[in-house]
Amino acid sequence: MIPDDKGRLMSALQVFSISIEYLRKHVVGTLYERMADLEPGDIRWVLTVPAIWNDGAKQFMREAAEKAGIAKESLIIALEPEAASLFCMNLPVDKIHGGSETKTPTISPFTKGTRYMVLYVGGRTVDITIHEVVEDGRRKELNYASVVTCSGAGVDAAFEKFLRSIVDTDTQKDKSVFDKFMQEAKEDWVDLFREFETKKKGIKGKGVGDERSKETIKVPPSLAEIFKDVTGKNLKDFIKTKKEYADKVALAGDKLRVEAGIFRSWFDESCNNIVKHVKEIFKQKASKNTNSILLVGGFSESPLLQDAIRTNFPDKRLVIPEEAGLAVLKGAVIFGHNPVTIVSRIARCSYGILVYRDFQNGVHPANKKVTIDGKIKCKDVFDVHVKKGQELVVGEAQSKQRYTPLEADQISLVFDMYTSTDAEPLFVTDVGSTYVGQLEVDVPDLSGGKDRGVFVQMIFGGTEVVVEAWEEKTNKLTKAKFDFLMSDENASDSC
């Protein structure tokens, strides 16, 4: 359940599915106008998500899309930085530039053996991944995606803080002008930040023009009207009384004039955090011989961010495609036609299953000892399928394990899946281990009792985990279902 701006709760799955359904209907309606014989199965849908999202978040988005009317077999998940990278690899050279004002074409950096950083700067998060170009223009991931949360939204937050500082007074107590503006003039509030979004892409770096020059932002008249309603004062005159903004900020009609230096200061925290994080990534072993930075995402179109990256990494080639904000969208279209563009990825964490093992004195802690069906076992053992940092080849099984039921009459095995920040976790109760969901495998043939073997094979290299399971006795592929949205309360002990 998630709250709206008035605190009313609604199912998150319903909110997301309604949003996706609106987009689906809009697209389908447009396509039918152009292609009357189009069938629903003719469309492949690609849903993009941040690379740092966990498996539960990806499953949530898949379920929301299916609830919105998109067939499961027609939907694939793409990672945003990879989609952007794919788009840039398919661009002609004259559509790639180094972010300079002249947009001088450069030699394409995407030749075999090239290592480059994908710096995806979106509205809320920043995904950073190192890629290497291999045969046939395909790529492999050299480090798992990392993230910094301060991006374009950080600039918006700084702008909102500034607005509050000029309209909210100490005498208002519980009456916030800006909060009332957000509640009562919501469309104007949205329009204001749309206006600001455009201005963000136009502000130049220091040294370009006069630092004391003014930037103009159009503000809705309702903001001044609400200010007068709450305070009884004129907003234009009130701004003049604020010493910190003397001769730096002025309101004329629906135009707010702000000194360029103040405007640029709203970018400082976001740009500094991004630069700091990029420096940390370049210190990693996987970043060796990485000479280019591919800057994509909505916030990447900001000249101030481009200047910050260029200034702090003068030895790196900065590559910015035209319409960098649309790189993910356009790359997703290419990905839909050819999903196998990444040949391998790096595991961000260890994956494993909770199992029971024969108890070994001196090896297993006493508090893990349990007796099951007359046998002494060690509980909570983390049976590792994938180690953190392991290279995961797309389409290849990274692990194949044999399991047997604990009880003779079990008709299914339920495996509790865990992740760990440790490369070699011992127990699912260790610090850094997290329960993430369940895998269920049907074993309807009871003739083997507890000796019925089930092989479980997992493929982690794609954008989503794929599971294959079959019975040892019949070699029959059995039902395998992964549920990453199960709660800890539903965890079970069956293998």
* 276 domain-assigned: no
- Specify whether 389 is located in the same domain as 478: yes
Q: Measure the CA–CA gap between 235 and 322, rounded to whole angstroms.
A: 40
- Specify whether 71 is located in the same domain as 164: no
Q: What is the CATH number of the domain that holds 404?
A: 2.60.34.10
- Specify whether 401 is located in the same domain as 476: yes
User: Which residue did the predictor score with more confidence, 471 or 250?
Assistant: 250
- Specify whether 189 is located in the same domain as 298: no
Q: Measure the CA–CA gap between 386 and 383, rounded to whole angstroms.
A: 9
Q: Read off the DSSP letter of residue 443.
A: -
- Specify whether 233 is located in the same domain as 295: no
* The pLDDT value given to residue 207: 60
* pLDDT band per the 50, 70, 90 thresholds, residue 211: low
Residue 143 has pLDDT above 80, yes or no: yes
- Specify whether 90 is located in the same domain as 73: yes
Domain count, the chain: 3
Domain residues for the domain of 414 are 347-490
* 25 domain-assigned: yes
Cβ-based burial of 336 (10 A; exposed 0-12, middle 13-18, buried ≥19): middle
pLDDT, tens digit (0-9, with 9 covering 90-100), for 10-30? 999 999 999 999 999 999 999
Of 306, 321, 345, the residue that ends a domain is 345
Residue 40 has pLDDT above 60, yes or no: yes
- Specify whether 307 is located in the same domain as 412: no
217: CB partners within 8 A, 6+ apart:
195, 196, 199, 255, 256, 258
Amino acid at 430: D
- Specify whether 203 is located in the same domain as 94: no
Closest CA to 480 of 456, 460, 461: 456
Q: What is the CATH number of the domain that holds 27?
A: 3.30.420.40
Sign of CA dihedral 305, 267, 299, 122: positive
* 273 domain-assigned: no
- Specify whether 206 is located in the same domain as 308: no
Q: Which helix (H) or strand (E) holds 178?
A: helix 177-184
* 271 domain-assigned: no
Q: What is the mean pLDDT of the chain?
A: 85
Of 345, 366, 393, the residue that ends a domain is 345
> What tokens does 60 get?
């949530």
Q: Measure the CA–CA gap between 228 and 489, rounded to whole angstroms.
A: 53
- Specify whether 356 is located in the same domain as 486: yes
* 495 domain-assigned: no
* 275 domain-assigned: no
Residue 385 has pLDDT above 60, yes or no: yes
Residue 217 has pLDDT above 50, yes or no: yes
pTM tops 0.75, yes or no: yes
pLDDT, tens digit (0-9, with 9 covering 90-100), for 400-429? 888 887 777 778 888 888 999 999 999 999
User: Which residue did the predictor score with more confidence, 41 or 421?
Assistant: 421
* 409 domain-assigned: yes
* 270 domain-assigned: no
Residue carrying structure tokens 């702000």 = 258
Residue 365 has pLDDT above 90, yes or no: yes
- Specify whether 305 is located in the same domain as 383: no
Residue 172 has pLDDT above 60, yes or no: no
Of 265, 294, 320, the residue that ends a domain is 265
pLDDT, tens digit (0-9, with 9 covering 90-100), for 264-311? 999 999 999 999 999 999 999 989 999 999 999 888 888 999 999 999
- Specify whether 157 is located in the same domain as 172: yes
* pLDDT > 70: percent of the chain: 89
